[in-house]
Structure 1
Amino acid sequence: MTGLAVDAPPSAVAEEASLAALLRCCVREVAGPRGQVWHAEPYVLLRVADTLLRARTYGGLALRFESAPEWLERGSWQPLSTDLLVRLVETELGGVNDEFAVQVGASRNAIAALLTARRDTPPPADPWLASEQGLVFGHPFHPSPKARGGTGWLRYAPEAHASFPLRLLGVRDDVLAEAGDTGPLDDLGPAPHGYTVLPAHPWQLDLLAADLAAPLADGRLIDLGHSTRLAVPTSSVRTVYEPQIDRCLKFSLDVRITNCVRKNSWYELAGAVELTRRLGPVFEDLSARFPGTRWLPEPGYRSADLGNRLLEGLSAIVRASPWSVCRPGVTPLLSGALAIPGSPPAEPVRWWRAYVERVALPVLDAYLSHGVVLEPHLQNVLVGVDAAGLPVEAVFRDMEGTKLVAGRHDLSGLPDRVADALTYDPADGWDRVVYCLMVNHLAEIAASLAGPGSTRELWTAAREVLAGYADSVGRPRPLSDLLAGVPLPAKANLSVRWARSADRAAGYVPVTNPLA
């Protein structure tokens, strides 16, 4: 974004943010692979559908804009709009996708609505929750970063500083479905004899109303009213923090948010508990080798055995809260919030070196030493800072994105569908690690630290940190290639939206390695 005034109309800010996101996608996925991006100082120029575009940029791989993008019309540069860029993309890519323009427009409208709502509602006092609710513009390389399905979502949106009581259901014990440790859920409220309490997201119940009518009528489910405390939604929308039990709860909304339909599939429920069991020893070793490494276990889930739709739709995965794993005096903050341009620390290189040590080293070692693929993108990592604001801990979360490298773990005792959902082959696992860590995460943090200045000093420091780790483990081939500057894989979000494919079908495009 180029930085409109803070009192600019929400619609204008939403347009600027939407245009920037789509233009980044064009550079990375449309014009770049066709050799149609080049530098002509002070501009980056690109050609889309035989139309020349330009903007002043900074931030290296993160591609931040410091001037309003323009297009060349009859020899004169004119302001570029999101709607025009959508038409150019449609022409360039060919074929028919009647959803694409609608999704881009819906995302822009959602951003405007969120900005309007934020003006009237203060952020949470808790700094961690405030950071969770700060991602108004979403993924910087997604054509529709705030597109979401369903209706009535604004009252539950974290970006609107929402908070709300959960609904409590009673599940008759003969149709209760659960695994692992779900004991904390019992403290949300009493249930009649023969029933067990089950928390539910209010939006989730609205979406499932027709399916719930019969079990509510015959007593397999009963409505216990609302919880006594306000739950606070975190950046993932469907995961909330429940202060009464100091736990995060991951619900199953079954609506499309950006690329994915966000639900807890039955095999992911079983997989979360299985991974928590297996990852305990892994994180014990990582925290011993890399002090400050933390994670948020997901020890259990609870639902109702009322057919697959309600088993998935009513499920709640229990997750530890970050405050419960950070040591006293350490404040957890969402990495995605740290990537938003703001006031850099007094010693940015020292801060950055500490950040890379805390975040990158355990991620790389989890893959190389343990065959575990963490998914350290900006919404899956919390960074614990001390009283001076220096990164001293990294907290990894979300078992849905964590996988095991095929061939390095014995999964023979698991159902095939659960085992398949838990694994990546080695090459795919490495691509996922490198994309999330280097492209999605560190590149964005570096751009925010450097501002309009060069990121070169930061990447030199990062290279020193990573080279030291590589030397300590014998310079395995993946790390040698990374340090040698091989191109990095960047997830192709525009391409998967254009193809109307599931997110798991998303491919990668090569981008410049800033360690080169």
Structure 2
Amino acid sequence: MPVIGTAPTAVTAGSTGSVSSILSAGDVTSTALLNCLIREVCAPEQQVWQDGAQLVARLPRAGVVLRTGLARPPVGATYRLAPPYEEQRGDGWIPLSWGRLSNLVAGELELATGRPNPEFLVQVDGSHTALEAIIAARREPSYDPYIDSEQSLVAGHRFHPSPKSRQGSPTDWLQYAPEARARFRPLWLAVPEHLIAEEGTLEAFAGLETYGPRIPQGRKLLPVHPWQFSLLAGNPVLREALARGLLLNLGPSDAEAVPTSSVRTAYLPDADVFCKFSLDVRITNCVRKNAWYELSSAIALNDLLPPIFRKLNSTLLAEPAYRSVTLADRRLYEGLGVILRDGVRTLPGTPILAGALADPYNTFLADLPALSTPDGAQAWWDAYVAHVAPPVLSAYLDHGIVLEPHLQNVLICVDGDGMPIHTAFRDLEGTKLTAGSWDLTHLPSRVAESLTYAPDRGWNRVVYCLFVNHLTEIAAAIADLHPRLEKALWRTARKHFAVHDRHPQMRALLAGVPLPAKANLRTRWSRSADRGATYVTVPNPLAAPRPL
């Protein structure tokens, strides 16, 4: 793996979490495929074992044996695999390219499921092509720690088979790609007031409009992502509305937007507000548009949840309003719908995207002075878990709120030494309520349906996002800096979960029952919607010592 450590520096505007110069699109693609293969196929079927400083995995149906480097033994649900990646041939080993590996994975899955998936290799190839384009196009950092953290995830999800797959050619999207450190200026449509659809605290849009062009009388401004506008250009209803002057395309203003890690959500630093745009583009798992019921559900949650998060001493970034147009085409209502989200300037300290801290390909974590020694790293982790885990668990166990606290949905606010002092959660689209815990009869049935999870499904989502996707990866990143700490970190963490042991779900986790991990590889192979993703079980690093 690329070397992560650098000399620690203070958390200032000069901290950029620079990405390793030896980042290779081929190695990143292979690592992600192997991570998925081991977690979802080889480990559940007991077809993986350690051989000294290497990990060996067998594809039992294809009859193929693979070998990888291993930076250190796995602890819990994550791995630190390292090149070289090899395939056994006779009594020897030969290099394993990412292309050959993707074909082997596809062959094993087809044999296991009895179903082909011609899209799979296309998606993996597209992800590799995107990685190459991003690495080649990456610009200079902004030297704003928050913005640089949002734009640092060059490699993407380590346990996704095509972490950078996105619809279209790089020439279509590089100018809007956060990983390339892009910036762009939104377009502004002037919409007659009688064609405006909006809900929520509408003053939020009034504040944003001051950064747009002059508003023609009797109209309101609607910010639009330029990529999305180009995708909708052929829509006949939109074309007619523009031709008749019903909608006015005022073009871009001077307001600059910074695409964040989700690609379609952009931060406007001058206004200190996020615009969650629709994008009719498949990015990794999903087409990233704002469905009509998601527009309304954001406002419903924004009305219900803030008082609870104030009691939990954490922040849920508000989504106070949405706006769209009511032309006679639902595709335009959804495709031009934009949700506003509160900015970050009122947060204490310096906010940093959690995903940047966990990413083994950049230096964000190593750049924090607080982690320069093993004792400092232990204290940092203790503070980190204390700020992240209790609000998530209390929200679910005590209030029936299913947060989605994965690495791209959590901002960690740190002080001048890099110590965690506060947590902000975001993305009301991923936030749900457990069925039966809330009275939603005042909402349209489709909106209420989109807001709820069955309790067991909600718990799986919380545990996967918090423990497997998030805390396990942060602990592994700390162990990259201090390799002997990883098991000790989980012993330290137990006390933050033990306070919830009155709940049987937490007693089970503390006893060491396996954790649910989202099966991204199998989900992509079956072409299931992300909401219908299946889970596999993975080792639980919280496991208590067995009684004598």
- TM-score, normalized by length of structure 1? 0.94
What residue ranges of structure 1 are gaps of 5+ in the alignment?
288-292
CA contact (8 A) 1:199 1:316 kept: yes
2:242 corresponds to which of 193, 201, 216: 216
Task: Find the counterpart in structure 2 of residue 140 from structure 1.
Answer: 158
Aligned to 1:485: 512
- Name whichever of 78-87 and 359-368 sits farther off: 78-87
Structure 2 residue aligned with 1:45: 56
Rounded Cα–Cα distance in structure 1 between residues aligned with 2:242 and 2:163 = 36
Alignment of 1:5-84 (within 5 A): 6-8=20-22, 13-48=24-59, 49-57=62-70, 58=72, 59-60=74-75, 61-84=77-100
Residue-by-residue CA offset, 1:108-128 (whole Å, 9 max, x unaligned): 11111111111xx21123210
Partner of 2:133: 113
> Any unmatched runs of 5+ in structure 2?
5-18, 544-548
1:2 Cα offset (Å): 5.3
Structure 1 residue corresponding to 2:330, chosen from 303, 308, 312: 308
Correspondence 1:242-281 to 2 at 5 A: 242-281=268-307
Structure 2 counterparts to residues 104-183 of structure 1, below 5 A: 104-118=124-138, 121-151=139-169, 152-183=172-203
Task: Give distance in 1, aligned partners of 2:259 and 2:109.
Answer: 37
User: Residue type matched to 2:385 in 1?
Assistant: V
Question: Residue 2 of structure 1 contacts residue 65 of structure 1 at CA under 8 Å; is this kept in 2?
Answer: no
1:185 maps to 2:193: no
Distance 2:359 2:107 in 1: 32
Q: SS where residue 227 of structure 2 aligns?
A: helix
Q: Match for residue 386 of structure 1?
A: 415
1:88 aligns to 2:88 (yes or no) = no
> What is the aligned counterpart of 1:225 among 251, 263, 274?
251
**How far did residue 454 of structure 1 move?**
4.9
Q: How does 1:501-512 map to 2 (within 5 A)?
A: 501-512=528-539
Contact 1:153–1:203 at 8 Å: present in 2 too?
yes
**2:422 is the alignment partner of 1:400:** no
Could you say if the C-alpha distance between residues 150 and 129 of structure 1 is closer, same or farther in structure 2, counting changes exceeding 3 Å?
same
What's 2:123 paired with?
103
Query: C-alpha deviations, 1:306-354, integer Å up to 9, x for none?
Result: 1210000001100001222x12xx0000000000234271211100000
Q: Does the 8 Å contact 2:211/2:255 carry over to 1? A: no
Say whether the 8 Å CA contact 2:382–2:493 is kept in structure 1. yes
Amino acid across the alignment from 1:125? Y
CA contact (8 A) 1:141 1:493 kept: yes
The residue identity in structure 1 corresponding to 2:231 is: L
Distance 1:71 1:3 in 2: 25
The answer to which of 302-311 and 341-350 deviates more is: 341-350
Quick check: 1:459–1:515 contact (8 Å CA) kept in 2? yes
How far does the alpha carbon of each residue in 1:141-181 deviate from its partner, in whole angstroms, 9 at most, with x for none? Answer: 00000000134111100000000111011011111111112
8 A contact 1:169–1:223 mirrored in 2: yes
Cα distance change on mapping 1:272 and 1:161 into 2, 3 Å: same
Matched with 2:263 is: 237
Other structure's SS at 2:43 match: helix
Cα distance in 1, alignment partners of residues 410 and 426 from structure 2: 6
Is the Cα contact below 8 Å between 1:191 and 1:224 reproduced in 2?
no
Question: RMSD in angstroms over aligned alpha carbons?
Answer: 1.5
Would you say the 8 A contact 1:491–1:506 is kept in 2?
yes
Q: CA deviation at 1:220?
A: 2.1
Superposition pairs for residues 229-378 of structure 1, below 5 Å? 229-287=255-313, 293-306=314-327, 307-324=329-346, 326-327=347-348, 330-341=349-360, 342=363, 343=366, 345-346=371-372, 347-378=376-407
> Structure 1 residue 244: deviation in Å?
3.0
Amino acid at match of 2:157: H
Shift of 1:262: 0.4
How far the C-alpha of 1:195 sits from its partner, in A, is 0.9
**SS at the partner of 1:460?**
helix
Q: Match for residue 290 of structure 1?
A: none
Aligned-partner residue type, residue 285 of structure 1: K
| Offset of residue 508 of structure 1 | 0.2
Contact 1:172 1:219 in 2 (8 A): no
3-state SS, counterpart of residue 46 of structure 1: strand
Q: TM-score normalised to the size of structure 2?
A: 0.89
Partner letter of residue 484 of structure 1? A
For 1:303 and 1:67, locate their aligned partners in 2 and report how far apart those are by CA, in whole Å. 48
User: How far is 1:3 from its partner?
Assistant: 5.6
For the 8 Å contact 1:182–1:318, the answer to whether it is kept is: no
Alignment partners' CA distance in 2, 1:175 and 1:281: 33
Once the two structures are overlaid, the 10-residue window that deviates more, 39-48 or 157-166, is 39-48
SS of residue in 2 equivalent to 1:164: coil
Amino acid in the other structure paired with 1:131: S
Q: Following the alignment from structure 1 to structure 2, what is the Cα–Cα distance between the partners of residues 88 and 7? A: 29
CA displacement at 1:464 relative to structure 2: 2.4
Deviates more, 1:254-263 or 1:448-457: 448-457
State yes or no: 1:500 paired with 2:527: yes
Q: Work out whether residues 185 and 197 of structure 1, in 8 Å CA contact, stay in contact via their aligned partners in 2.
A: no
Partner of 1:202: 226
Match of 1:470 among 485, 496, 500: 500
- Greater relative CO (CA pairs within 8 A, separation 6+): 2
Counterpart of 2:528 in structure 1: which amino acid? S
- Confirm or deny that 1:434 pairs with 2:447: no
Check the 8 A contact 2:176/2:183 in 1, yes or no. Answer: yes
Structure 1 residue 7 displacement after superposition = 4.6
1:90: how far off?
1.9
- CA distance, structure 1, for counterparts of residue 302 and residue 326 of structure 2: 23
Whole-angstrom distance in 2 between the partners of 1:74 and 1:240: 52
Q: What count of residue pairs does the alignment treat as equivalent?
A: 499
Task: Write the distance in 1 (CA, Å) between the matches of 2:244 and 2:334.
Answer: 20
The answer to whether the 8 Å contact 2:31/2:82 transfers is no
Note if contact 1:38-1:46 (Cα within 8 Å) is conserved in structure 2.
Answer: yes
1:227-276 CA-to-partner distances (Å, cap 9, x unmatched) read 21211110000000112321001000011000011010000000000001
- Mapped to 2, the partners of 1:311 and 1:188 lie a distance apart of 23
Partners of 2:315 and 2:193 lie apart in 1 by 35
> 1:133 deviation in Å?
0.1
| Worse overlay, 495-504 or 66-75 | 66-75
Paired position in structure 1 for 2:8: none
Task: Name the amino acid aligned to 2:107.
Answer: T
In the alignment, the residues of structure 2 paired with residue 210 and residue 69 of structure 1 have an alpha-carbon distance, to the nearest angstrom, of: 46
